[in-house]
Amino acid sequence: MLGTAKGLLHQGIRFGDRVALMSRTRYEWTVLDYALWTIGAQSVPLYPTASAEQTRWILADSRAVACVVEHEDHAMTIGSVCDALPGLRRIWQLDAGAMKDLMQAGRSVPTELIDRHRYSVAPQSVATVVYTSGTTGRPKGCPLTHANFAAETDNLIARYHEVFRQRGSEQASTLLSLPLAHVFGRMIQVAALRAGVRLAHEPSLAPADLLPALASFRPTFLPAVPYVFEKLMARARRAAEEDGRSAVFERAVEIAVRHAAAVERQSFGSGPGPSTALRLQHQMYERMVYTRIRAVLGGRVRSAISGGSAMSRELGLFLAGAGIAVHEGYGLTETTAAVTSNPPERTRFGTVGLPVPGSTVRIADDGEVWVQGATVFQGYLGPDGAVEPALDRKGWLATGDLGHLDGDGYLTITGRKKEIIVTSSGKSVAPALLEDRVRTHPLVAQCVVVGDNRPYVGALLVLDREALGHWQRRRGKPQLLPAEACRDPELHAELRRAVGAANTAVSRAESIRSFRVLAGELTEEQGLLTPSLKLRRRAVAKACAAEIEALYRTAAAALPG
């Protein structure tokens, strides 16, 4: 890192300069991040999948003076917008030897000069400008300070001591596959290095790439978004079915959930804990099933850190029952990741926990979540380069999320204010709860709830092609694509049951009355998902306008009267 810092200084990067990093998660990303901080510069993460327009906007808005890219395609993206970026002076390419070049360039720079820069970095100095995902408009730059990261990571390390600290002779270790352009991944990076955790990098979140990496590195804890855990669960279920062990697996899931729920009730003083019979059954499935699941993750994983979106209560209970303690939290880019988290000794599954030490949460009259604390930023980057205050006079940040606190102070997130659907009858519906519940079905990869200015709520479904193929093989059906397969009455009935199960969580007026299966997946490349896999609802509504019209037209024709 020292050599890289010297190279950056030699190449003209100065205290306070902003340098963009456009790369997948890899070792060099972390080295560059810390090298920039060492000389008082500020990193500006760019998603490696960002379009030319998104890239131009962030580089111009942040006033970046240089950019590090991973490969030639990224360099071409930057090159296509360079004319609109007169302040961009340098581009380095990792796959073209950038790190070696920087090390060689910095050989003549004295260490004392680096030290003077490092000592000048204050806690309130800006460490990085992270841009929001831009689900409802252009991304906004969030300047986060070194003090923000210190407060965030030190609190989490203290709360999750058993995750970040060495246990006996086993050093804590993690495989970081989260995108480092997202604040969740950055928080894990900083926490791991502050706690002395052995850190490895994996650039892909796809199970086909991630599982071999986990088996090779064998981490003790795994940070991921719920989507990854859902995919791992679906794979385990399919493997059990293909081995003729479906009934055993489903029974093991039931026992794991019941066991974890009993432990949860005991931790809150509302139950005696697992009964003797339940403990015996749990021990039996520990040998038959749970050890195999942990083996897929490398065999040493004892904890999972989940964030980015809500994890279902059932999945959290299953993982805990299978021997993987789930630590779920909630936060924003503006709060340097987690502002709440579940304490390990009293986890309440289905919630995002209690405020982290030094933070406070309150619920406004309209149900919006407001937060305050040392991890909260001061404001967004303004057009003139100054920070535009985003907090009220008492330091509270309006998150834009809706939620509620239970009697013990645990927070549950129910949706986004800007995503509320209002039907033509005036009923307000938060789509996230329904979408998350529909997606728990193995056949459903994506779900988009619609219904703005419509008579009732509908849904667009995207099927998981791997799961669909498995479902068809198990039933001796031809291998059809989703658009054709959805005409199968048996498949349609299966999806109707999935929607019906989700509807039990809401009132009749809020329930999904009709659904339609889309032919293809909603992707980031189409502009329909953010890089953190959140839906861009306006873009989806525009791209799928014909499908939405067909959904209501077909359903209306089928409705009585």
Average pLDDT over residues 531-556: 84
135 neighbors 524 (Cβ within 8 angstroms):
no
Strand pairing partners for 379?
Answer: 389
- CA dist 149 and 155 (Å) reads 10
Long-range contacts, 450-453 (Cβ 8 Å, 24+): 450/421, 450/541, 450/548, 450/551, 451/421, 451/423, 452/421, 452/422, 452/423, 452/541, 453/422, 453/423, 453/424
Note whether 361 and 413 are same-domain residues: yes
pLDDT greater at residue 120 or residue 432 = 120
Domain that residue 524 falls in: 420-558
Structural domains in the chain (count): 3
Nearest to 320 by CA among 348, 360, 358, 355: 348
Give every CB contact of residue 281 below 8 A, 6+ residues apart in sequence.
255
Q: What is the DSSP letter of 311?
A: P
Note whether 431 and 526 are same-domain residues: yes
Asked whether residue 176 is domain-assigned, the answer is no
| Residues constituting the chain | 561
Note whether 481 and 390 are same-domain residues: no
Asked whether residue 167 is domain-assigned, the answer is no
Which pLDDT band holds residue 506 (cuts at 50, 70, 90)?
confident
442 neighbors 500 (Cβ within 8 angstroms):
no
- Render pLDDT for 366-390 as a digit per residue (tens, 0 to 9): 999 999 999 999 999 998 888 999 9
- Render pLDDT for 76-126 as a digit per residue (tens, 0 to 9): 999 999 989 999 999 999 999 999 999 999 999 999 999 999 999 999 999
Which pLDDT band holds residue 26 (cuts at 50, 70, 90)?
very high
pLDDT of residue 561: 36
Note whether 293 and 210 are same-domain residues: yes
263 neighbors 329 (Cβ within 8 angstroms):
no
pLDDT greater at residue 309 or residue 57 = 57
Residue 240 clears pLDDT 80, i.e. is over it: yes
- CA dist 351 and 307 (Å) reads 12
Q: Which residue blocks in 504-544 are alpha helix, DSSP H?
A: 537-543
Residue 59 clears pLDDT 80, i.e. is over it: yes
Asked whether residue 377 is domain-assigned, the answer is yes
Note whether 410 and 432 are same-domain residues: no
The SS3 assignment for 44 reads strand
Note whether 399 and 457 are same-domain residues: no
Which of 66, 91, 121 lies at the terminal end of a domain, its last residue?
121
Asked whether residue 233 is domain-assigned, the answer is yes
Note whether 430 and 378 are same-domain residues: no
Residue 558 clears pLDDT 60, i.e. is over it: no
**Segment (H or E) for 429:** strand 428-429
pLDDT of residue 2: 92
Strand order in 141-145's β-sheet? 90-93, 66-69, 18-22, 42-46, 126-131, 141-145
Note whether 66 and 98 are same-domain residues: yes
pLDDT of residue 135: 56
pLDDT of residue 75: 95
Which of 357, 382, 417 lies at the terminal end of a domain, its last residue?
417
Asked whether residue 193 is domain-assigned, the answer is no
pLDDT of residue 37: 98
Return the exposure string of 281-300: e unless at least 16 CB atoms fall within 10 Å of the residue's CB, then b.
bbeebbeebbebbbebbbee
- Render pLDDT for 310-366 as a digit per residue (tens, 0 to 9): 888 999 999 999 999 999 999 999 999 999 999 999 999 999 999 999 999 999 999
Asked whether residue 544 is domain-assigned, the answer is yes
- Render pLDDT for 182-213 as a digit per residue (tens, 0 to 9): 999 999 999 999 999 999 999 988 888 999 99
Q: Average pLDDT of the chain?
A: 92
Note whether 361 and 484 are same-domain residues: no
pLDDT of residue 114: 95
Asked whether residue 60 is domain-assigned, the answer is yes
The SS3 assignment for 224 reads strand
Strand pairing partners for 167?
Answer: 170
pLDDT of residue 228: 86
- Please state whether beta strands 198-201 and 173-176 pair in parallel, antiparallel, or not at all (unpaired): parallel
Note whether 296 and 234 are same-domain residues: yes
Asked whether residue 135 is domain-assigned, the answer is no
Give the orientation angle of helix 431-438 with respect to helix 489-503, to 10 degrees: 140
pLDDT of residue 134: 64
Strand pairing partners for 363?
Answer: 369
Note whether 436 and 361 are same-domain residues: no
CATH number at residue 447: 3.30.300.30
How far CA 85 is from CA of 46, 82, 517, in Å, comes to 15, 5, 43
- CA dist 382 and 561 (Å) reads 55
How far CA 156 is from CA of 140, 357, 377, 438, 516, in Å, comes to 26, 9, 18, 32, 42
Note whether 76 and 95 are same-domain residues: yes
- Please state whether beta strands 512-517 and 457-463 pair in parallel, antiparallel, or not at all (unpaired): parallel
Residue 480 clears pLDDT 90, i.e. is over it: no
Six-digit token string for 16: 């306070």
Which of 417, 442, 475 lies at the terminal end of a domain, its last residue?
417
pLDDT of residue 419: 87
Give the orientation angle of helix 111-120 with respect to helix 27-38, to 10 degrees: 80
Q: What percent of the chain has pLDDT over 90?
A: 71
CATH number at residue 116: 3.40.50.980
pLDDT of residue 198: 96
**Range picked from 21-35, 167-181, 516-530 for highest mean pLDDT:** 21-35
How far CA 391 is from CA of 336, 373, 387, in Å, comes to 15, 11, 11
Give every CB contact of residue 531 below 8 A, 6+ residues apart in sequence.
47, 49, 50, 133, 179, 181, 182, 524
- What are the φ/ψ torsions at residue 243 (nearest 5 degrees)? -90, 5
CATH number at residue 223: 3.40.50.12780
